[in-house]
Amino acid sequence: MSEVNDLKNKKLVIGDDVFVPFLTEEQIQNRIKELAEQISQDYKEKIPIFIGVLNGAFIFLADLIKNVTIDCELDFFKLSSYGDSKISSGKVRLLKELNCDVNGRDIIIVEDIVDSGLSIKYIEEIFSKHNPKSIRVCSLLMKPESLKYDIKIDYIGFKIPNKFVIGFGLDYAQKYRNLKSIYALTD
Ligand code: IMP
Ligand code: MG
């Protein structure tokens, strides 16, 4: 894992960067249960398609649908926006298309984190062309101070300050997605 992993202080030192514990596994799992309960209520009598944005959302989405109690379907698609950087490139590319037909369906886009909102705006534009019955967005995290685009997030796990975070699906240069909890970069 990291070059130095200070387990005693629970710090994660990655090169010159120091990450500290930010959300525990328990906090994350408890909140996911609440979100799943809310979604199960809201989509009673419906069969939504959860559409995960790869790669970051896969862990969140897996835990989310395990707690959903209604019938649902699942698909993924892939965008690239960050490259290996901690700062958004401001550009988004589609790398993997959907396999399912969203025409007339209730879809729930699932993200790991909404930062500027560019990815969600781009995704919503793509999906609206395919005539879904409804589109909602569910994100584990969002950074309200960073939001630059006019988008609506219907289900938010945690609103967080403008800090770079890793773990629970979120990467830094493709690593650390496997951490069970979330760590934040210190200033
Ligand atoms: P946006 O398009 O600016 O809203 O950025 C959203 C995407 O950037 C997310 O799907 C993440 O993949 C990535 N991202 C944004 N903030 C972070 C972070 O703090 N850590 C890791 N990835 C992030
Ligand atoms: Mg992502």
Question: What does the pLDDT profile of the chain (187 residues) look like in tens digits?
Answer: 444 455 455 899 999 999 999 999 999 999 999 999 999 999 999 999 999 999 899 999 999 999 999 999 999 988 876 555 656 666 666 666 677 788 999 999 999 999 999 999 989 988 888 899 999 999 999 999 999 999 999 999 999 999 999 999 999 988 999 999 999 999 8
Q: How far is the CA of 127 from the centre of ligand 1 (A)?
A: 20
Q: Please tell me the distance from the alpha carbon of residue 82 to that of residue 71, in angstroms, as a whole number.
A: 33
Is the minimum distance from the CB of 27 to ligand 1 under 6 angstroms? no
Q: How far is CA 11 from each of CA 20, 28, 88, 171, rounded to the nearest angstrom?
A: 5, 19, 25, 16
Q: How far is the CA of 145 from the centre of ligand 1 (A)?
A: 13
Strand order in the sheet with 182-185: 4-6, 11-14, 17-23, 182-185, 165-166
Give the model's pLDDT for residue 51: 95
First-residue to last-residue Cα distance in the chain: 22
Question: What are residue 5's phi and psi, to 5 degrees?
Answer: -120, 100
Cα four-point dihedral sign 32, 38, 41, 44:
negative
Is residue 63 annotated as part of the catalytic site, yes or no? no
**Residue identifier of the C-alpha nearest atom 20 of ligand 1:** 165
Residues having C-beta closer than 5 Å to ion ligand 2 = 56, 112
Give the model's pLDDT for residue 79: 80
Is the minimum distance from the CB of 164 to ligand 1 under 6 angstroms? yes
pTM of the model: 0.91
Is the minimum distance from the CB of 80 to ligand 1 under 6 angstroms? no
Q: How far is the CA of 16 from the centre of ligand 1 (A)?
A: 21
pLDDT tens-place string over residues 76-96: 988 876 555 656 666 666 666
Give the model's pLDDT for residue 182: 97
- Choosing from 106, 115, 150, 171, the catalytic residue is 115
Is the minimum distance from the CB of 118 to ligand 1 under 6 angstroms? yes
Give the model's pLDDT for residue 1: 47
H or E segment to which residue 138 belongs: strand 134-142
* Residue 176 · residue 166 · CB < 8 Å: yes
